């Protein structure tokens, strides 16, 4: 049995829903449910992941020239008393290596301001030296948080 036959047997049960879906009835005027309309409003002014990637690559301090963007995910960070912040988490890998290096950079998806940078290199989790750390000792962790630049990257284009 294939997936289409299974869905037919289920008669519209599950994620697919049925023709009398209440969300569809609520959205007859605009074609969108209230939840969908609220989601769109939250995304106002958000930059595309391609644009945010390009902006990060323009900053040499992140060292992304040898890295490929592997994924980008948006998430909403709720803030009490303030407008909710939309963050974009961009994940990079260094292709062509047996033990891949990776970087994860979280940015404010509206302004492009870097919130967090996280880097991983192979062998470091096994006690390899990451080099001198600000505390004077040798780093021993495979996952290295890096202090972000606290300035916005120029982002004139929106989605």
- For 103-130, write each residue's pLDDT tens digit: 999 999 999 999 999 998 876 655 444 4
Question: Which residues, in sequence order, are CB contacts of 110 under 8 Å at separation 6+?
Answer: 45, 46, 47, 85, 86
Residue in 73, 62, 51, 69 with CA at minimum distance from that of residue 114: 62
pLDDT at 41 over 50: yes
Q: What is the mean pLDDT of residues 46-71?
A: 95
Question: Which residues, in sequence order, are CB contacts of 4 under 8 Å at separation 6+?
Answer: none
* Segment of 47-51, 98-102, 154-158 carrying the highest mean pLDDT: 47-51
Q: What is the mean pLDDT of residues 4-33?
A: 60
For residues 60 and 42, which has the higher predicted lDDT (pLDDT)? 60
pTM (predicted TM-score): 0.60
Q: Tokens 């120029």, residue?
A: 154
User: pLDDT band at residue 79, thresholds of 50, 70 and 90?
Assistant: confident
Q: Tokens 């994860």, residue?
A: 104
Q: What is the pLDDT of residue 11?
A: 66
Angle (CA) 113-117-122 rounded to 5° is 160
Sheet holding 102-108, edge to edge: 68-77, 85-93, 102-108, 114-120, 143-146
Q: What is the pLDDT of residue 40?
A: 84
Angle (CA) 27-7-39 rounded to 5° is 30
pLDDT at 85 over 80: yes
Which two tokens mark 154? 């120029």
Tell the burial category of 137 from Cβ atoms under 10 Å away from its Cβ (0-12, 13-18, 19+): exposed
């Amino acid at each position: 049995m294939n997936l289409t036959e299974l869905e037919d047997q289920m008669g519209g049960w599950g994620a697919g829903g049925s023709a009398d879906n209440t969300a569809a009835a609520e959205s007859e005027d605009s074609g969108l449910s209230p939840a969908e309309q609220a989601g769109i409003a939250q995304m106002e002014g958000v930059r595309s992941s391609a644009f945010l990637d390009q902006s990060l690559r323009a900053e040499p301090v992140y060292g992304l020239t040898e890295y490929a963007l592997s994924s980008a995910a948006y998430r909403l960070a709720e803030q009490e008393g303030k407008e909710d912040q939309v963050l974009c988490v961009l994940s990079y890998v260094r292709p062509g290596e047996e033990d891949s290096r990776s970087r994860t950079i979280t940015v404010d998806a509206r302004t492009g301001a870097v919130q967090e940078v996280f880097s991983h290199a192979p062998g470091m989790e096994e006690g390899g030296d990451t080099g001198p750390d600000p505390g004077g000792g040798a780093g021993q962790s495979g996952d290295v948080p890096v202090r972000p630049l606290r300035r916005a990257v120029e982002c004139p284009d929106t989605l």
